[in-house]
Amino acid sequence: MGLSFHYKGKFKNPESLKKMIEEVTDICKANKWEFAIFEDTFPNNTFTLKPNSDKIYGLFFTPPKCETVHLTFLSNGKLCAAHNLQLNKNVENLEDDIYLYFLSVKTQYCGAAIHKILISVFDYLNKNYFEEFEFTDEGQYWETRDEKLLEETFNRYSNLINSFESALEHIPVLEGESIETYILRMAEIVKNHNHE
């Protein structure tokens, strides 16, 4: 639970991977974000038809209090989180996993300011390096560029999380109550409390 964004797409020009990595690492260094670089050149500066499960290309970085942002690709040029590849490394056909190319980043705890920076980074990357790119922002900033809406959405998510945590601390499980029933009862209490 927590505000996130989701994305998928493909790298446009295999020859420009090093340049993208350099630009993103400059952003990371300027913001003091940790990062790690994988392979910086696609095989023969081209994409393969079938993805190779042995290597990943690109980099990932982690802003403070944020999930890791993957700008990593398979040899076919498609975005793929390193952990998704690791989970599927021994699968005969990588393409069998429908979630292989869907990436998500939770920004709930890093706040709206970093969320906005990340949206700007993805906006730049989309224009310069990606194709067939899809991005969904639960904060709706990608779609609207409305800072007030983003702040309101962050606050709403924070209130829900805090209410749920408080409910866990203060609402005991009733005798004989199943865990499913308990969670549904808590969710209803939180919902009613947040609508008051």
52 and 115 in a single domain? The answer is yes
Question: Which residues does residue 4 pair with via DSSP β-bridges, in sequence order?
Answer: 106
Top pLDDT among 161 and 22 is at 22
128 and 157 in a single domain? The answer is no
22 and 114 in a single domain? The answer is yes
Mean pLDDT of 32-57: 93
166 and 91 in a single domain? The answer is no
Is residue 22's pLDDT more than 60? yes
30 and 122 in a single domain? The answer is yes
178 and 96 in a single domain? The answer is no
Taking a C-beta distance cutoff of 8 angstroms, is the pair 111, 65 a contact? Answer: yes
pLDDT band at 126 (very low <50, low <70, confident <90, very high): very high
b/e sequence 58-79, b meaning 16+ C-beta within 10 Å: bbbbbbeebbbbbbbbbbbbbb
Mean pLDDT of 133-155: 92
What residue has token string 């021994």?
Answer: 90
136 and 162 in a single domain? The answer is no
Q: Which of 91, 88, 73 has the alpha carbon at shortest distance from 132?
A: 73
Beta strands across the sheet bearing 69-73: 34-37, 57-62, 69-73
Domain limit, last residue, from 144, 160, 183: 144
189 and 110 in a single domain? The answer is no
Mean pLDDT of 117-139: 97
151 and 135 in a single domain? The answer is no
Taking a C-beta distance cutoff of 8 angstroms, is the pair 39, 193 a contact? Answer: no
> Domain residues for 53?
4-144
186 and 119 in a single domain? The answer is no
pLDDT at residue number 90:
65
pLDDT at residue number 162:
59
139 and 156 in a single domain? The answer is no
- Count of structural domains within the chain: 2
pLDDT at residue number 2:
79
pLDDT band at 185 (very low <50, low <70, confident <90, very high): confident
106 and 118 in a single domain? The answer is yes
